[in-house]
Structure 1
Amino acid sequence: MTAPTAPAHVVVDIEGTTSATGFITEQLYPYSRKHFARVIEQRGDEAEIARAVAAVRDHLGDPGAGTDVVVAQLNGWLDRDEKATPLKTLQGVIWAEGFASGELTSHFYPDAIPALRAWHAAGHRLYVYSSGSVSAQLAWFGHSAEGSLLPLFSGHFDTENAGPKKTAASYHAIAAALGEDDAARFVFFSDLVDELDAAREAGWHTVGVRRAGEPYFDRGVGTHPETDSFARVDLSGRQPVVAG
């Protein structure tokens, strides 16, 4: 059998990778904080929201916790920027409302959308793997300033359907979900070295995205190939190459 000539599956993170973390923390986080209580009260019977609220109550050890207590826990996680799954689920629901209403428009670095389109056109299958929920991802990529980018993507993964991003098992789970036995057919883009390390442990190719002004810039990306722009990355060979 002939060996693959290029990665087939391109998996991208969002914050610090395709998009500015500052936009999310300064625009989307306050927006979700403003709407937690309303969504829980008005849409609490919906399965996704009920499951998230139940998870918060389970974390608190208080199955009867009221909305104010649940919201306080959500805000605590938000203050510490913890990637708690119930928080991300509820943020995704709230952001989807905001994008649908036109109150929110997602941010992308100038090099991100052209690269995603070029990789898709070249035959690579694109996926998102983010701590943000799948619903948040769909809203984000569906409402860019250049319109919906969702047709470019073949799937979406988060901490609920794949697992924690700093654990190699999560990357194995994604490969299994896609029916791909060859880990070398994957390349993962992230700004966080712990995530890159986990992906590499699972056998994936990796590219560390290091953009000035991002929270993890000073940490670097370890021994992973490094770029400050998707435009510098060549995916045509058996492994990604970053132009100097």
Structure 2
Amino acid sequence: MGSLTVPACVSTVLLDIEGTTTPITFVKEILFPYIQDNVKEYLENHWQEEECQEDVRHLRLQAEKDCELDGFVPIPMNQTEVQQIIQGVVDNVHWQMSLDRKTTALKQLQGHMWRAAYASGQVKGEVYADVVPALRKWKEAGKKLYIFSSGSVEAQKLLFGYSIEGDLLEYFQGHFDTTVGLKVESESYRKIADHIGCSTENILFLTDITREAEAAEEAGMTVALVVRPGNAALTDEEKGNYPLITSFEQITLHPVQ
């Protein structure tokens, strides 16, 4: 592990979030527990709002699809007392999260809850200490910066917009989530390059996940694996296949001419 000098043709940096800009523990130990601990209070406080009712409608539709699954938790219909419906939604959300499910209905409610938590200051997005100085330096060098994460674009913007370092959204030209495709599929990276309006060879992709690095490299991008505390351990083969960095400070980018 050491310095990484990037090819001169690289004009764009594409960043993963978890394990790359932000500790994996932030999602697992801050964001998800926040939902579990506060979902009941959130529903009680926002129950009359159309957005909240829409979230419940989507969760109920998802529950109808899930009724054959083991341990399924139903959500009572609207004729039931409000407190019973709320408890049903709470139990369903806890059940889905215990299975680490990523249903659209669950992600939508989580997104709305996180938005309220960030805006009120209850939650602040975490970034490693080397991230902001690097973003500033890369932007000054004329590089375009983008995010590609499995978390929704809205969740990404909340994390960087309400970060411990302040509002970082000014550094990014755009955000991509899995609506462009899965992060382990090379076609997703080609689509991103098309959207940005450059060739894949003009993009450096930074991630902590080997399968993502493999897909991006297959698409023609320059890649590096980011090794941070708490990230999944890499095999000797993985360490030999990709450049490894422990800090963004180790990356040397040529200024855009």
TM-score class, shorter-chain normalisation, is 0.7 to 0.9
Q: Is the 1:207–1:227 Cα contact (8 Å) retained in structure 2? A: yes
Further displaced range: 124-133 or 171-180: 171-180
Q: Does 1:27 align with 2:30?
A: yes
The one-letter code sitting in structure 2 at the alignment partner of 1:75 is H
- Aligned residue for 2:80? none
Kept in 2, the 8 Å contact 1:127–1:155? The answer is yes
Distance 1:47 1:171 in 2: 36
Q: What residue in structure 2 maps to residue 79 of structure 1?
A: 98
Q: What runs of 5+ residues in structure 2 fail to find an aligned partner?
A: 1-6, 69-73, 77-84
The alignment partner of 2:8 has SS state of: coil
Matched, 1:177 2:180: no
1:123-162 alignment runs, 5 A limit: 123-160=142-179, 162=180
Task: Tell me what 1:242 maps to.
Answer: none
- 1:234 is aligned to 252
Residues 111-143 of structure 1 show CA distances to partners (whole Å, capped at 9, x for unaligned) of 111111111111111111111111111110011
Equivalent residue for 2:222, pick from 169, 182, 205? 205
The answer for the alignment partner of 2:62 in structure 1 is: 56
Structure 1 unaligned regions, length at least 5: 239-244
| Structure with the larger RCO, 1 or 2 (CA within 8 Å, 6+ apart) | 2
Alignment CA distance shift 1:121-1:47 (3 Å): farther
Q: Is the 8 A contact 2:134 2:249 kept in 1?
A: yes
User: What's the offset of the Cα at 1:80?
Assistant: 4.1
Counting matched residue pairs gives: 231
- Provide the identity percentage: 36
State the SS of the aligned residue for 2:178: coil
Contact 1:57 1:65 in 2 (8 A): yes
The separation in 2 between residues aligned to 1:165 and 1:22, in whole angstroms, is 20
Q: TM-score, normalised by structure 2?
A: 0.77
Q: Does 1:111 align with 2:130?
A: yes
Q: Which residue of 1 aligns with 2:186?
A: 168
Distance 1:48 1:154, change over 3 A: farther
